[in-house]
């Protein structure tokens, strides 16, 4: 069996129609000839029938290859870098502002750069989790009449170290994820 006897796919017919439209737009076909060739292309069952719709227009068969999935080129990015600078700032803003600083970075620089947003959201989720842990520990300490108060320094040191490590890892270019964090913000 020769390749001209192979059956054509819908995608190949669609590609042939697109080529005919281009030829009509270029003025190589008048309206009546375009309609006749279009009908012939849509009824074609084999490659030979499909190629015959271009007789007299081109010197060789028109390639009717159509890729399975067409992807558009990626849009130009309006940001540069991997967000390490502002990502580090977002992590370290947890020291003086707790969760407010990372939230502001998410709302401002995070809208323009997805890498900054990823870092700032991670920092925000950690700070919210730490805030909740401090609040729950305070309530539990009050209920136990101060028995659990020894855990405040432990929790504070853990918060301090993890906030610093998060900023350093981001500055070094890593994708740091805090352990023991509730990811409330996506």
Mean pLDDT of 165-180: 87
Please give the pLDDT value at position 28.
84
pLDDT tens, position by position, 135-166: 999 999 999 999 999 999 999 999 999 999 98
pLDDT tens, position by position, 58-87: 655 555 555 544 455 555 555 456 778 888
**CA separation for the pair 173, 142 (Å, rounded):** 42
pTM score of the predicted model? 0.56
Please give the pLDDT value at position 61.
52
Q: 34: pLDDT confidence band, cut at 50, 70 and 90? A: very high
The tokens of 56 are what? 């007299």
Please determine, for residue 29, whether its predicted confidence score (pLDDT) is greater than 90. no
SS3 7: strand
Please determine, for residue 15, whether its predicted confidence score (pLDDT) is greater than 80. yes
Half-sphere exposure at residue 110, Cβ-oriented, CA atoms within 13 angstroms:
22
Out of 5-14, 54-63, 92-101, 135-144, the most confident range is: 135-144
Cβ atoms of 51 and 62 within 8 Å: the answer is yes
SS3 58: coil
**CA separation for the pair 96, 102 (Å, rounded):** 11
Q: What are phi and psi of 146, to 5 degrees?
A: 90, 5
Cβ atoms of 92 and 163 within 8 Å: the answer is yes
């Amino acid at each position: 069996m020769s390749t001209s006897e192979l059956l054509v796919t819908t995608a190949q017919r669609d590609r042939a129609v697109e080529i005919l439209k281009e030829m009509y737009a270029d003025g190589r076909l008048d309206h009546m000839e375009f309609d006749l060739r279009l009908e012939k292309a849509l009824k074609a069952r084999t490659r030979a029938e499909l190629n015959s719709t271009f007789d007299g227009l081109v010197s060789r068969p028109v390639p009717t290859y159509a890729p399975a999935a067409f992807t558009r080129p990626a849009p130009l990015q309006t940001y540069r870098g991997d967000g390490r600078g502002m990502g580090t700032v977002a992590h370290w803003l947890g020291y003086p502002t707790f969760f407010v600083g990372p939230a502001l970075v998410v709302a401002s620089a995070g809208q323009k750069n997805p890498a900054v947003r990823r870092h700032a959201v991670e920092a925000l989720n950690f700070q919210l989790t730490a805030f909740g842990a401090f609040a729950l520990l305070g309530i539990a300490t009050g209920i136990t009449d101060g028995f659990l108060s020894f855990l405040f320094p432990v929790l504070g040191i853990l918060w301090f170290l993890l906030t610093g490590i998060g900023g350093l890892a981001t500055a070094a270019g890593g994708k740091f994820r805090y352990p023991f964090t509730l990811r409330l913000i996506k």
